[in-house]
């Protein structure tokens, strides 16, 4: 059998992964770190290599992270596998089921088209409408699902206007508005970004409870400040040349007519959705023992009881591989903290950078955004959360602060195509190049770093996060 270049690279990376574990096993244990902590760092390095290279599916790496811990005698199997019992996993399952019902009945499409019609008076406003619509939809369904929905809608509009791919700034801004709107909006609620429940799950392992409403209070200022700033960056870099949107008005009117009047099934799904969101906000405040995951799963079950969705729909729409990835990600975080590896890393890093709290906050944001642009958001956040907790412990800061910084920064990936599903999905349409994405994304990322940093040292301190 003749090996292709791709297969040779894959074999080389997998061999390097194996050698890396052997090296960590043979290396003497550094001062201040336990043998188990040293091997946990080895698993971290292996996970990073596999998550960045993606030579195996992300979910498989998640499973590998779990089984390596008992294999290397870091933790007992029963303890490691309990990471799949973490409430964050079940919150995600419930949220994915609810999102599947919304997608099945085209409720998100009706919302998107109706919303875009309010911005058809000018091309610039229309591009902002795309970004705002994506952000708002990302409050109630996962960001990748919003990108999948919005891309064909906007694409049909660009085709009706006879926009030439890569030659039109209107085309570039419209597509980038989808990608960036989804990313920024995903910060707003626990539902929007896959890494958000992972952050919540990690904090729960540290004895910290953050409600659905708490998350919104912490994140909303960042969303609503970043959104218009990033849009201004887009239209500054790529001034919109289109002057008339009459064809767009006609196109949107036809789309609404094609959907027809709102159906009873859509009304039922809407009622269950809003009931679930309301329960997420209210119930944990009244019943402190009640988990967000219980509400999410109850909302998903209600979709079944109402006949809005079937198990076949779930099999087709729920990304089960993501669930496996989360289990591994949470297990990695727990292992890093319990073995002392996270605190050891933080101590050594702080011996170089100093113990300045403000500098540490900035560095945590910067490090997370660098990694989240190179690898899966969830993987990046899972990798850095325990290290951030180590920083917080050493500096006497709340783990809540470091976790929220990392969880939110993990959603701000604007530079590379591989950084988020939204970037990849919109890039596939061909209306912007990787250079276009890098050029606008770099400034957008720097702007959002500044926004998150300023919110963290002012607003978050004012409301008592630290």
**Of 155-164, 339-348, 382-391, 437-446, highest mean pLDDT:** 437-446
pLDDT at 248: 76
Q: For the packed helices 212-237 and 169-185, what is the interaxial angle rounded to 10 degrees?
A: 160
Residues 6+ apart with CB under 8 A from 55: 9, 10, 13, 14
Q: State the DSSP code for 163.
A: P
Judge whether 19 and 337 are in contact, CB under 8 Å.
no
Asked if 180 and 414 touch (Cβ cutoff 8 Å), the reply is yes
pTM of the model: 0.80
Which two structure tokens, joined as six digits, stand for 329?
Answer: 């990600």
Closest CA to 140 of 114, 111, 115: 111
Query: Does 219 score more than 90 pLDDT?
Result: yes
Average pLDDT over residues 36-54: 87
State the residue for tokens 């799950």: 201
State percent of the chain over pLDDT 90: 39
Task: Please tell me the predicted confidence (pLDDT) of residue 203.
Answer: 92
pLDDT of residue 353: 65
Q: Which of 184, 239, 188 minimizes the C-alpha distance to 212?
A: 188
* Residue 5: pLDDT over 70: no
pLDDT attached to residue 20? 93
Q: Record the tokens describing residue 37, joined without a space.
A: 């902590």
* CA-closest candidate to residue 361, choices 438, 440, 436, 450: 450
Rounded Cα gap, residues 263 and 135, in angstroms: 25
**Per-residue confidence (pLDDT) for residue 108, from 0 to 100:** 78
Residue 465 has pLDDT above 90, yes or no: yes
Residue 446: the pLDDT is: 95
Q: Is the pLDDT of residue 408 over 90?
A: yes
> pLDDT category, 447, cuts 50, 70, 90?
very high
Q: What pLDDT, on a 0 to 100 scale, did the predictor assign at position 292?
A: 80
Provide the pLDDT for residue 269: 92
C-alpha 441: how far from its chain's center?
A: 17
Specify the range with the lowest mean pLDDT, choosing from 2-6, 62-66, 301-305.
2-6
Pure H helices in 161-307: 169-185, 195-205, 212-237, 246-259, 264-286, 292-305
What distance in Å separates the CA atoms of residue 465 and residue 461, rounded to the nearest whole number? 6
pLDDT number for residue 402: 95
Q: Please state the rounded mean pLDDT for residues 56-83.
A: 88
The confidence score (pLDDT) of residue 258 equals 84
The overall average pLDDT reported for the chain is 87
Q: Which of 58, 81, 56 is nearest to 68 (CA)?
A: 81
CA–CA gap between residue 277 and residue 216 (Å, rounded): 12
Domain boundaries along the sequence of the chain: 5-85+106-262+319-462
The pLDDT, as a whole number, for residue 3 is: 64
**Phi, psi at 212, each rounded to 5°:** -55, -45
pLDDT score for 227: 97
**Model confidence over 157-171: pLDDT tens digits?**
888 888 888 889 999
DSSP state of 167: T
Could you tell me the end-to-end alpha-carbon distance of the chain, in angstroms, rounded to an integer?
60
């Amino acid at each position: 059998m003749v090996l292709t270049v791709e297969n040779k690279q894959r074999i080389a990376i997998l061999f390097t992964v194996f050698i890396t574990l052997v090296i960590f096993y043979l290396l003497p244990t550094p001062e201040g770190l336990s043998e188990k902590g040293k091997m946990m760092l080895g698993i971290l390095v292996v996970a990073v290599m596999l998550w960045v290279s993606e030579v195996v599916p992300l979910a498989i790496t998640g499973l590998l992270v779990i089984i390596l811990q008992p294999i290397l005698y870091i933790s007992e199997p029963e303890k490691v596998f309990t990471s799949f019992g973490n409430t964050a996993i079940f919150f995600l399952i419930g949220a994915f089921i609810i999102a599947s019902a919304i997608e099945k009945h085209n409720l998100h499409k009706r919302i998107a088209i109706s919303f875009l019609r309010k911005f058809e008076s000018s091309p610039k406003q229309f591009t902002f409408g795309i970004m705002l619509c994506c952000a708002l939809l990302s409050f109630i369904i996962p960001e990748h699902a919003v990108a999948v929905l919005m891309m064909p809608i906007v694409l049909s509009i660009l085709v009706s206007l006879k926009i030439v791919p890569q030659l039109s700034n209107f085309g570039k801004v419209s597509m980038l508005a989808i990608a960036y709107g989804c990313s920024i909006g995903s910060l707003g609620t626990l539902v929007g970004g896959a890494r958000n429940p992972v952050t919540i799950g990690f904090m729960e392992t540290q004895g910290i409870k953050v409600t659905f409403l708490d998350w919104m209070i912490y994140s909303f200022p960042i969303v609503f400040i970043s959104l218009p700033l990033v849009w201004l960056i887009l239209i500054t870099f790529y001034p919109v040349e289109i002057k008339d949107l009459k064809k767009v008005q006609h196109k949107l009117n036809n789309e609404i007519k094609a959907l027809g009047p709102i159906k009873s099934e859509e009304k039922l799904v809407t009622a269950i959705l809003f009931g679930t969101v309301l329960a997420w906000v209210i119930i944990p405040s009244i019943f402190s023992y009640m988990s967000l995951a219980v509400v999410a799963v109850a909302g998903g079950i209600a979709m079944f009881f109402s006949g809005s969705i079937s198990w076949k729909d779930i099999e087709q729409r729920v990304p089960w591989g993501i669930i496996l990835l989360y289990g591994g990600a949470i297990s990695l975080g727990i292992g890093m903290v319990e073995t002392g590896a996270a605190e050891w890393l933080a101590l050594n890093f702080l011996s170089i950078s100093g113990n300045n709290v403000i500098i540490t906050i900035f560095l945590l944001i910067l490090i997370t955004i660098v990694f989240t642009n190179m690898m899966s958001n969830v993987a990046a956040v899972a990798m850095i959360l325990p290290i951030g907790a180590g920083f917080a412990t050493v500096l006497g800061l709340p783990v809540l602060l470091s976790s929220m910084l990392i969880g939110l920064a993990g959603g701000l990936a604007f530079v590379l195509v591989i950084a988020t599903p939204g970037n990849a999905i919109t890039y596939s349409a061909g209306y912007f190049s990787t250079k276009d994405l890098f050029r606008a994304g770099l400034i957008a990322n720097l702007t959002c770093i500044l926004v998150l940093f300023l919110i963290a040292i002012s607003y978050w301190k004012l409301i008592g996060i630290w």
